[in-house]
Structure 1
Amino acid sequence: MTTATVSRPAPASTHRSSAVTGTGTLLRFMLRRDRIRFPAWTLGLTLLMTYFATALNTMVQSPEDLEGLSAFSGSPAGALFGGPGFGFDEVTVERFLAGQYGLYVMIGAALMGLLTVVRHTRAEERSGRAELVRANVVGRYAQLTAALTLAATMALLVALLLGATLTSRGYDSGGSLLFGAAVGAVTLAFAGIAAVTVQLSEYPRAASGMAGAALGAAFVLRGLGDMAAVQGSGPSWLSWLSPIGWSQQTAPYVHDRWWPLAISLAFATAATAIGFGLSARRDFGAGLLPPRPGSPRAAAWLAGPFALAFRLHRASLIGWTASLLVAGLAYGSFTQPMLDGFENAPEDMVALMGGAGNLLDGFLGIMGLTMALAVGVYAVLAVQTLRAEEAEGRTEPVLATSVSRRAWLGSHVAVAALGVPWLLFVAGLGMGIGAAVSTGDVGLLGDLLLGHLAHTPAVWLVLAAAALLYAAAPRALPVIWVVLGYGLIAGYFAPVLDIPEGVLRLSPFEHVGDYPLEQISVVAVVVLTVLAGGLVQAAVTVFRRRDLAGGA
């Protein structure tokens, strides 16, 4: 007699795994990974605002100095690069600080938010770590939830630190806390934007680029709206289309309006909800925007390490070219308004521009330095691409072929080095066209092209130093940002801060000269170029001796 056994379905489990299961554990992992980035971002933004406050107190020695600064900042050109200038008719130090310099802290906070979300979501999927994590008991939305929670925590901490720091300087506590909250609101808004862009592309750089483009659009909309508001005519409502504009409309120390932050919170909430919704509509590791299929056959000219390096850097070069051309045209078109705004500026500001008799040359020289620092950022990011290629395992297959380490590293550095004069040329071209139209002096085009290109050796030196850091100790690569930061401080505030000449010369941007204000030093051009070549040679030598990913 046989007995048939009938299998019955197991009873449904009374406990269903939540879509956010494991969020707390992932958040702790993210905090562990960002044990350096977290304090660097939060304390860095606080120190930046502290520096602005200290520099302003140094520059302003009398009420007349402050009124001179506000006269320029209250002009359309000042509104473009600062804000709507609330309270500048009865200006105080804290009103000027929040209204003119707060913009740059907000931009830094926006970058903090979007880069944090991309780093802990799309970059994790791309590297393969997220797949290992999700093989455990982890909900579908846990990764994004933890990343957004981390960004919100950073926003809250920055808001508190800024509020406490400004209050400790004797500023109104209500306005200080409002300013900190406004900066934190910008972080939340762009973290929400990044939550959407990481669903669109499968590549971290593309996701960061789309979020960065949104930041650029927010800056432009706010600038156009604020200029129209200062002029008293035009589309001033454009400022209300920008997350940066919402925070600036709080007007700390003037109107102390908290309600615009509700727009920021609503926008961040909506963007986050869209991000979660989109994440449920895509496959893990994929993006909603499919990558464009390449050609089935490679062109003959691609058979080499230099061509491969060019292909990897091509998108970045195109983006930087367009951005610097537009930036040059925008800055150049405000040359004459800038000069008009400096008529009543304090002596320290006039000294920064080369003196009352050289305002035009001084402004053009400063803009050349500004564009050189921007191209320096491109150079550092180009070297960071090498570290990403190595960390993600794409370098080793290339070196497994007949491509030598010297050829691989040298090709990447060569492509970036060729990109430096090209980008400086484009920036100078845009600046020259804008300045020529603004002032009616066509001769400025040639001066600006020469002045911008003269900074090429200084940027090459930054590029070479970054390459050497990557070759010797990839973890130390972020140290190169100190060089660019010091170059900015030395170039912009040396007359105000009385930096000694010997210390000032530590910046590679202080040797060639800010043409047309200063003559170009041919000796400095040669020396900087030779030093850059020597550092590149050292980088190649060191890179040949270390293990791949061994120091990463």
Structure 2
Amino acid sequence: MTGVLGLVRLILRRDRIVLPLWIVFLAVIPISFVSSYGDLFPTPESRLSYANNAGFITLYGELGGTSLGEFVTWRLGFVPLIVGLIGLLTVIRHTRVEEETGRSELLGSSVVGRHAGLAAALLTSFGANLVLGVLIALGMQSQDQPLAGSVALGLEFASTGWLFAAVGAVAAQLTANSGTARGIAIGVLGASFVLRAAGDTSAHTDGPLAWLSWLSPVGWAQRIHPYGANRWWLGGLMLAATVVLVVVAVQLAVRRDVGSGLLPARLGPAEGRLGSPFGLAWRLHRGLLAAWTVAFALLGLLFGSVAEGVGDMMRDDPQIQKIFERLGGAGALIDSFLVGVMTITGLIASAYAVQATLRLRAEESSGRAEPVLATATSRLHWVASHLVFTLLGPAIALLASGIAAGLAYGSAVGDVGGQLPRLIGSALIQLPAVWLLGALTLALFGLIPRASQAAWAGPSVCLLIGLLGAGVQLAPWIKDISPYTHLPQLPGGSVSAVPLVVLLAITAALTALGLTTLRHRDLPTS
């Protein structure tokens, strides 16, 4: 473990801006929800009526109780997923990416222990999540919430971050490619959400699959039930699972060489048959495209199948009708729900766009771009071969999501022909915002290639604005930062060409900036 503290200081120095930002943003969200939802849902009956439907249970889980603290905890059900995502991305960035670029080998030639890099990445992520948990606990107590429940809520967030940081550590040992490692870890996170959603939805309808929630770490965290049961033993289960995963990661690290993964790399054909840069880009992106498309189809199927249940609470409860009149959605509650879930789908699609664009940086920093550019291939031709997947990849994935949601919801209400085009349109209308964030990634790659990873801040900021905007009255200029704020609210809303044209114009300008700066800068190899 020699050199761990020095590597921790290095990681903190490199993440000195991003790390404090996400901690502060995520710590503010629960505090802001207390006052806003306390005013909006002042009685236990209104909270129960709002939460007691299959659509919201799919998104946020089951409501543990009707106190304000329990209601806020339930409404924050999507935020622990963000904490887990940040945790796993942080660990992979400071382990597998460091090996992929050769920096860990350089550090390893000094007085640094074999497991120092992995230990430093985990300690940094664990410490950041601990700080987040403490800030959440203190913040909720400052809003006159019970101390025990506030500590339990902090434990829910922190333990989720710890566990998925450990998942990222295991994924980093399995493959030599950082993109594949991210895909494995994010796949585990997504599967945890789907298992929790399927189990809770089944339990709500007295179905036979309620046990699925107990297979999900996300389900364990949410069943701590802060401000209610305060099941501390589930926090202990999360910590035990984290310890097991860390031990597994260390054991796997011992069994592989530096720079390699345990999963064998698939060998290509004995004779190369790639006749163009696009053919190479297709080979590099096809697995990612297939995985994202399948995931989006499943997500659309899940959201579409529970959409009908969202309208039940308005038909049965006049009080909840008044609440949604205050929210502006009494006339089209199901459409409002579909707008929300399609916006979430669009935000996830922006992560795909960022990941596909950052493939350019991975090819450049690993030295694989040089042999391609040594041929008659120009830089613009090389970049364009990858940008095809930045543009068309999210479009295909969103189309799959819209089709799946339209078929599921249309079948439930007996109107497939009417709902299918509406939900396809709702999915594809997210593309201008998705493409803008992809273009921002390209601009960063062209201007400051070493800062390309900062492009992940784009989807993160948009998601945080969406979460905060759902609970508090943000200043208009803050909402306007997110391109998703300017999209038409489909289905159910009207379409205006002006914001779409503006978003596409900004996308074109950022793309031009990225391409121009890429043409005139040096090509670094590390």
Q: What is the TM-score normalised by the length of structure 2?
A: 0.90
CA contact (8 A) 1:512 1:524 kept: yes
Tell me the secondary structure at the aligned position of residue 403 of structure 1: coil
Correspondence for 1:542 among 505, 517, 521:
517
Q: Distance in 2 between matches of 1:319 and 1:504?
A: 31
In structure 1, give the amino acid aligned to 2:351: V
Match of 2:158 among 184, 191, 215: 184
Do residues 41 (structure 1) and 22 (structure 2) align?
A: yes
Q: Structure 1's 208 and 537: CA in aligned 2 closer, same or farther, altered over 3 A?
A: closer
Q: Deviations over 1:411-460 (max 9, x none)?
A: 32233112232222111101101111221211101221233223333433
How far apart in 2 are the matches of 1:67 and 1:40? 36
Cα distance 1:347–1:497, how it changes in 2: closer, same or farther (>3 A)?
Answer: farther
2:64 aligned partner? 86
1:419 to 379, 390, 393: 393
CA deviation after TM superposition for structure 1 residue 67, in Å: 3.2
- Which residue is 2:7 aligned to? 26
Which segment is superposed worse, 342-351 or 388-397? 342-351
Structure 2 residue 282 is matched with structure 1 residue 310: yes
Aligned-partner Cα distance in 2 for 1:83–1:364? 17
| Greater Cα shift, 541-550 or 424-433 | 541-550
Give, in whole Å, the separation in 1 of the partners of 2:124 and 2:507. 39
1:59 corresponding residue in structure 2: 40
Contact 2:308-2:413 within 8 A present in 1 as well: yes
Residue in structure 1 matched with residue 438 of structure 2 by the alignment: 463
- 2:311 aligns with one of 339, 353, 359: 339
Cα pair distance change 1:531/1:199, threshold 3 Å: closer
SS of 2:197's equivalent in the other structure is helix
Opposite residue 327 of structure 1, the aligned amino acid is L
**Could you tell me which of 29, 48, 73 is aligned with 2:51?**
73
| 3-state DSSP of counterpart to 1:520 | coil
Counterparts of 1:460 and 1:153, CA distance in 2: 34
SS at match of 1:410: helix
| Structure 1 position 254, deviation (Å) | 0.7
How much does 1:331 deviate?
0.1
Counterpart-to-counterpart distance in 1, 2:115 and 2:470 = 49
Q: Count residues in correspondence.
A: 521
Q: Report the residue type matching 2:437 in the other structure.
A: V
Which among 437, 444, 454 is matched to residue 478 of structure 1?
A: 454
**Deviation (angstroms), 1:330:** 0.3
Where 1:259 maps in the other structure, the secondary structure is helix
1:109 & 1:201 partners in 2: Cα distance? 23
d(CA) in 2 for partners of 1:473, 1:59: 45
Amino acid at match of 2:364: E
2:296 is matched with which residue?
A: 324
**CA separation in 2, counterparts of 1:238 and 1:450?**
32
- 2:80–2:157: 8 Å Cα contact kept in structure 1? yes
- Structure 1 residue runs without a partner (length 5+): 1-19
Aligned match of 2:149: 175
Specify the alignment match of 1:497 in structure 2. Answer: 473
Cα distance in structure 1, aligned partners of 2:137 and 2:167: 25
Residue identity in the other structure for 2:430? H
Q: Deviations over 1:80-124 (max 9, x none)?
A: 21122111xxx12211011231x2221122123222221222222
Residues 222 and 238 in structure 1, CA contact (< 8 A), matched pair in contact too: yes
CA distance in 1, matches of 2:238, 2:152: 13
Q: Percent identity?
A: 36
Structure 1 counterpart of 2:379: 405
Alignment RMSD: 2.9
Q: Tell me the equivalent position of 1:148.
A: 122
Q: Check the 8 A contact 1:369/1:491 in 2, yes or no.
A: no
AA aligned to 1:40 is L
Cα deviation, residue 528, structure 1: 4.1
CA deviation string 1:454-513 (max 9, x = no partner): 33334333333332333233427736744774487469948973865x876665445552
**Structure 1 contact 306–415 (Cα < 8 Å) conserved:** no
What SS is found at the alignment partner of 1:334?
helix
Q: 1:271 aligns with which of 245, 260, 267?
A: 245
- One of 384, 391, 399 as aligned partner of 2:358: 384
Give the conservation status (yes or no) of the 8 Å contact 2:152–2:226: yes
1:201/1:289 contact within 8 Å kept: yes
Q: Which residue of 2 aligns with 1:126?
A: 100
Task: Measure how far apart 1:256 and its partner are.
Answer: 1.7
- Distance in 1 (CA, whole Å) between partners of 2:484 and 2:5 is 46
| Rg comparison, structure with higher value | 1
Deviations 1:205-250 (A, max 9, x none): 2222212111112112222232344344534333222222222222
Query: Which letter maps to 2:446?
Result: A
How is 1:449-460 mapped onto 2 (pairs within 5 angstroms)? 449-460=424-435
Matched with 1:96 is 71
2: CA distance between counterparts of 1:480 and 1:275? 25
> Cα–Cα, structure 1 residues 421 and 189, in superposed 2: closer, same or farther, change >3 Å?
closer
2:494 aligned partner:
519
Segments of 5+ residues of structure 2 without an aligned counterpart are none
Query: Partners in 2 of 1:426 and 1:539 — Cα distance?
Result: 29
Q: Aligned equivalents of 1:139 and 1:512: distance in 2? A: 51
Cα distance in 2 between the residues matched to 1:141 and 1:392: 23
